[in-house]
Amino acid sequence: MTDLLQREAKTRGHIPGESSMWFFVIGDLIIFAGYFLAYMYYRGQDPELFLESQARLNLDIGAANTVVLLTSSLFVALGTSAARSEKTADGVRLIGFALTLGAAFPVLKLFEYVPEVLAGVTPGTNVFFMFYYVMTGLHLCHVMLGLVILSFVIRNLRDPARKNISFVETGATYWHMVDVLWLVLFALLYGMR
């Protein structure tokens, strides 16, 4: 109990991770919010075209990717919590699992993009597909960067000399943001009717 209280006292009044990462996360969310608003505006201009094009997306892979990212995020959270309570080996294992799951995202995306492009559905097809390729492409760049960051988190945890909880929290914060962005993207591009 005292342990718990001490931990609580330590975490009170402190932002998880580096504050510069929070600057990035909040700014990135604002930028994406701008893109989402623009998408909604142009969707409103031609709802039939957007609905019709939306129906051509592969909802199954989109849903699978949502599950992959959500599960990966859960393991990052569990890993961070383990690292905080000095269970470093568990932390490495959990974040390693999150990284593996996260790495499935670009592979699944490839299975989505390639058949679409081969079927002649490209960014030039219409404004919906331009939004689709640009926004999912930008998000994919974020995922790739996230995978690099998670690898650095694992390296950081493995090396006792380097171990730094703040860095683990910074990586976890970034990965959760990638997850949140995907949830909105998935709802807007695949789900909205």
Of residues 35 and 97, the one with the C-beta less far from another protein: 35
Ranges within 111-130 binding another protein (CB under 8 A): 123-124, 127, 130
Of residues 40 and 114, the one with the C-beta less far from another protein: 40
Is 28 near another protein (CB under 8 A)?
A: yes
- Nearest one of 96, 108, 128, 129 to 65, comparing CA atoms: 108
Q: How many residues bind another protein (CB under 8 A)?
A: 21
- Nearest one of 81, 109, 79 to 97, comparing CA atoms: 79
Cα–Cα distance measured from residue 193 to residue 191, given in angstroms and rounded to the nearest whole number: 6
Taking the CA atoms of the chain, what radius of gyration do you get in angstroms? Answer: 19
Q: Is 58 helix (H, G, I), strand (E, B) or coil?
A: coil
Q: Spell out the residues 6+ positions from residue 161 whose beta carbon is closer than 8 angstroms to its own.
A: none
Cα–Cα distance measured from residue 113 to residue 133, given in angstroms and rounded to the nearest whole number: 9
Q: Min. distance of Cβ 63 from another protein in angstroms? A: 26
CA angle 37, 43, 48 (to 5 degrees): 165
Cα–Cα distance measured from residue 72 to residue 57, given in angstroms and rounded to the nearest whole number: 24
Which of 9-17, 34-42, 76-84, 94-102 is the region at the interface with another protein (rule: CB under 8 A)? 34-42
Which of 51-59, 66-74, 89-97, 136-144 is the region at the interface with another protein (rule: CB under 8 A)? 136-144
Q: Min. distance of Cβ 124 from another protein in angstroms? A: 5
Of residues 103 and 130, the one with the C-beta less far from another protein: 130
Pick the binder of another protein from 64, 74, 138, 183 (CB under 8 A): 138
Pick the binder of another protein from 6, 10, 33, 34 (CB under 8 A): 34
Is 152 near another protein (CB under 8 A)?
A: no
The tokens for 50 are: 């957007």
User: Which residues here bind another protein, judged by CB under 8 A?
Assistant: 18, 20-21, 23-24, 27-28, 31, 34-35, 38, 42, 123-124, 127, 130-131, 134, 137-138, 141
